[in-house]
């Protein structure tokens, strides 16, 4: 069970890694989940049958209720990451709910920073001047590499098997978010497709700083969704690595639904 939950956590990092990284740090706030915008929930395109690929020993242990899942997640992670600072990467309280909120909001203009399942990477966002233009400093790209390396270390097929096993909790969190007829796996695949469609750009990317916060100088880039804008901040090599991971996860997620 402990091994499978490590894969579950890496799924969150692999698919959502681009959401974990923001312009600057913000202190955590009490958890209150935003009411989402409307989304098409008609028909299920990628059905998931829970426990279809669970390990034999895991099938014998029933899933906890969503509201009672914190203790098991914290216990498993504490054992897996003994000697490491778990809270450096993850916010364990309401982890599944936070993951669902993150996925659902990546295609939107604003990402609710206080509802993400992980903490920002250490360090501050850096800008640099190049040819009298303000641009993203290449030093920022290296800040994201530990997250990507962690995601690349596990086979997507094994991660998705755990996701399938725990799917009822994801589905419950998605419906509680405000989609009584929605299907979370369809939304997850839709969001992956959205991130994969992030446009190719020329680096370095120019910035503006009209106030304290930075923004893209190109209005078309600034108008992109929160997920696409954050992905572009990671640098060309990291963008390619994340997209490669997302393609593999999409294949596994849709293959899992095809097998059911």
Other C-beta atoms closer than 10 Å to the C-beta of 168 total: 14
Confidence of residue 4 (pLDDT cuts 50, 70, 90): very low
In whole numbers, what is the pLDDT of the chain averaged over residues? 78
What confidence tens digit (pLDDT) does each residue in 20-51 have?
334 433 333 334 444 454 444 458 999 987 54
Angle CA(162)–CA(226)–CA(236) in degrees, nearest 5? 80
Q: What is the total residue count of the chain?
A: 260
Q: Distance between CA 260 and CA 248 in Å, rounded?
A: 19
Contact 254, 189 (CB under 8 A): yes
> What pTM does this model have?
0.79
Q: What is the pLDDT of residue 212?
A: 84
What is the H or E stretch that residue 134 is in? strand 133-136
- Checking if the pLDDT of 95 tops 50, the result is yes
Enter the DSSP assignment of 224: S
- Checking if the pLDDT of 198 tops 70, the result is yes
Confidence of residue 100 (pLDDT cuts 50, 70, 90): very high
Query: What SS3 state is found at 148?
Result: helix
Q: Distance between CA 124 and CA 25 in Å, rounded?
A: 7
- Checking if the pLDDT of 13 tops 80, the result is no
Average pLDDT rounded to a whole number, residues 91-108: 92
- Checking if the pLDDT of 121 tops 80, the result is no
Contact 156, 7 (CB under 8 A): no
Which residue has 């990628």 as its token pair?
46
The terminus-to-terminus CA distance of the chain in angstroms comes to 23
Q: Which two tokens stand for residue 28?
A: 């955590």
Q: Give the closest residue to 140 by CA, choosing from 162, 159, 122.
A: 122
């Amino acid at each position: 069970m402990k091994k499978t939950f490590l894969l579950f956590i890496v799924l969150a990092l692999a698919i959502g890694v681009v959401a974990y990284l923001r312009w600057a740090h913000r202190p955590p706030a009490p958890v209150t989940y935003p009411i989402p915008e409307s989304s098409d929930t008609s028909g299920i395109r990628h059905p998931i049958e829970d426990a279809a690929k669970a390990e034999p020993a895991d099938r014998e242990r029933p899933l906890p209720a969503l509201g009672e899942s914190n203790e098991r997640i914290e216990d498993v992670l504490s054992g897996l990451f003994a000697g490491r600072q778990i809270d450096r990467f993850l916010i364990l309280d309401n982890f599944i709910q936070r993951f669902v909120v993150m996925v659902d909001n990546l295609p939107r203009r604003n990402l609710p920073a206080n509802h993400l399942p992980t903490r920002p990477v250490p360090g501050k966002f850096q800008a640099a001047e190049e040819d009298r233009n303000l641009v993203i400093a290449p030093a920022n790209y290296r800040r994201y590499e530990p997250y990507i390396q962690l995601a690349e270390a596990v086979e997507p097929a094994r991660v998705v098997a755990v996701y399938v096993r725990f799917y009822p909790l994801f589905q419950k969190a998605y419906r509680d978010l405000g989609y009584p007829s929605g299907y979370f796996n369809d939304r997850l695949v839709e969001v992956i497709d959205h991130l994969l469609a992030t446009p190719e750009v020329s680096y370095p990317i120019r910035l503006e700083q009209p106030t304290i916060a930075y923004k893209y100088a190109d209005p078309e880039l600034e108008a992109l969704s929160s997920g696409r804008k954050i992905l572009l901040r990671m640098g060309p090599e990291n963008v390619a690595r994340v997209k490669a991971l997302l393609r593999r996860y999409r294949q596994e997620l849709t293959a899992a639904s095809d097998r059911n």
